[in-house]
Amino acid sequence: MKNIAVLMGDGVGVEILEQTIRVLDKVSSIYKLDFKYHYTPIGGNAYEETGTPLPNKTIEIAKASDAVLLGAVGDWKYDILPPELRPEKALLGIRKKLNLFANLRPVKVFDELLHASPLRPEIAQNTDIMIVRELTGDVYFGEPRGIERKTTLDGREIKVGFNNMIYDEDEIRRIAHVAFKSAQKRKKRVCCVDKANVLDVSRLFREITAEVAKEYSDVELSYMYVDNCAMQLVLNPKQFDVILTGNIFGDILSDEASTICGSLGMLPSASLSDGNTPFLYEPIHGSAPDLKGKNVVNPIATILSAAMMLNYSFDNKLAADNITRAIKETLKEGYRTRDIFNKENGDELVTTSKITDVIIDKIR
């Protein structure tokens, strides 16, 4: 039996995970996987229920599981809460508690969706990038941080906000190893993306990455400044194999890169630890509170995240590939949720549950 902690979260997180569980049930029946789901709240709904967005019970259930599936957290109605009670805090909290330092965000465009990309098809086609984003350090977690008061030279009292962009060499080394190992299974190229022309922390990032590279003589290492990378991603995304980067740059670049695939609703992610705690799988998109309960959002990012779970946590590439093939066939037949819908293309606009029905039907 495989124990899966299911943290649906807020907004559309609930419906995309409900649909994903249906897909997993089908896969489970084919491969006799015997999944047991353990539902537990996180984010805004956890706050409503327990007064905290990340209850201890949720952390315990997640830690005791074989893998964690997460939907999305957040709603504008919580914007008035102090930072430590906001849903996003729970997301950062669970990543930290489970030591999920390596976030893999594959950016692979389906040929069937080339027309949905804002890039010209010949530019978007064959894009296949693995963004390896460090997930438990950087300005996201660096201390000191806060908003304080200070007195200016001319005697006025004003507020000052600050965060600390910080990485130590152990943190850099372990994420660099993940990037190089990933590249070894791909096209054997790592591009380290940073801002080393300005930031000291980036200079250290480069230095340590270069050291780690010596252990992977079969992998070619290059460097790129993050501003240039943002541009290169839309100019010529095919040039990239593995992008190794820190937490904040990875956050920004992965949203940008998702549009190459036609929609933010297409990008899955896997967050890996050193192996002593379970891995977590979630779409890279947010909770879209305005779309909640409307049965219109794209479940594919979450379904692909479940496929990554089968691959990375349960070592079942066959099942994972089965899901990916079913998605490809579904797209080939023209079924589209509205984020990837294009009338001129003759697409058929369908709901979240309908596109999942079709995908499930094609898993065999």
Pick 114 or 243: Cβ nearer ligand IPM: 243
Long-range contacts of 35-41 (CB under 8 A, 24+ apart): 35/1, 35/2, 35/4, 36/1, 36/2, 36/3, 36/4, 37/4, 37/6, 38/3, 38/4, 38/5, 38/6, 38/65, 39/6, 39/8, 40/5, 40/6, 40/7, 41/7, 41/8, 41/9
289 binds, among Mg ion, ligand IPM, none (CB under 5 to 8 A by kind): none
Query: Among residues 238, 255, 328, 357, which one is catalytic?
Result: 255
Pick 191 or 257: Cβ nearer ligand IPM: 257
Pick 26 or 105: Cβ nearer ligand IPM: 105
Q: Is 251 a catalytic residue?
A: yes
Q: Which residues lie near ligand IPM (CB under 6 A)?
A: 88, 91, 251, 284, 286
88 binds, among ligand IPM, Mg ion, none (CB under 5 to 8 A by kind): ligand IPM
Cα(149)–Cα(134) distance, integer angstroms? 32
Q: Is 227 a catalytic residue?
A: yes
Pick 212 or 267: Cβ nearer ligand IPM: 267
Q: Is 274 a catalytic residue?
A: no
Per-residue x/- mask for Mg ion, residues 145 to 184, rule CB under 5 A? ----------------------------------------
Contact 231, 252 (CB under 8 A): no
Vertex 241 angle, CA 138 and 178, to 5°:
45
As measured in angstroms, the least distance from the Cβ of 268 to ligand IPM is 12
As measured in angstroms, the least distance from the Cβ of 299 to ligand IPM is 17
Query: Among residues 227, 290, 321, 361, which one is catalytic?
Result: 227
Amino acid at 292: K
Q: Is 140 a catalytic residue?
A: yes
Q: Which of 251, 282, 339, 347 binds Mg ion (CB under 5 A)?
A: 251
Query: Among residues 78, 140, 216, 312, which one is catalytic?
Result: 140
Cα dist. 142→56, 131, 166, 247, 256 in Å?
23, 22, 6, 11, 24
User: Which pair of structure tokens corresponds to residue 355?
Assistant: 């596109």
Cα(99)–Cα(208) distance, integer angstroms? 21
Pick 53 or 286: Cβ nearer Mg ion: 286
Vertex 329 angle, CA 325 and 332, to 5°:
140
As measured in angstroms, the least distance from the Cβ of 246 to Mg ion is 13
Query: Among residues 195, 238, 328, 354, which one is catalytic?
Result: 195
Q: Where are the beta strands (DSSP E) in the chain?
A: 2-9, 35-39, 67-72, 102-108, 128-134, 146-151, 157-162, 189-194, 220-225, 242-245, 270-272, 279-281, 335-336, 348-349
As measured in angstroms, the least distance from the Cβ of 97 to ligand IPM is 15
91 binds, among Mg ion, ligand IPM, none (CB under 5 to 8 A by kind): ligand IPM
* Residues recorded for the chain: 364
Q: Identify the bridge partners of residue 226 per DSSP, sorted by sequence position.
A: none
218: number of Cβ within 10 Å = 8
Q: Is 195 a catalytic residue?
A: yes
Per-residue x/- mask for Mg ion, residues 208 to 247, rule CB under 5 A? ----------------------------------------
Give first-to-last CA distance, the chain, whole Å: 21
359 binds, among ligand IPM, Mg ion, none (CB under 5 to 8 A by kind): none
User: Which pair of structure tokens corresponds to residue 275?
Assistant: 């192996």
Pick 90 or 116: Cβ nearer ligand IPM: 90
Cα(364)–Cα(181) distance, integer angstroms? 31
Pick 89 or 336: Cβ nearer Mg ion: 89
CB closest to ligand IPM, residue no = 88
Helix, strand or coil, per DSSP, at residue 327: helix
Q: Does 134 bind Mg ion (CB under 5 A)?
A: no
CB closest to Mg ion, residue no = 251
Which residues contribute to the site for Mg ion (CB under 5 A)? 251
Residues annotated as catalytic (active site), given as ranges: 140, 195, 227, 251, 255
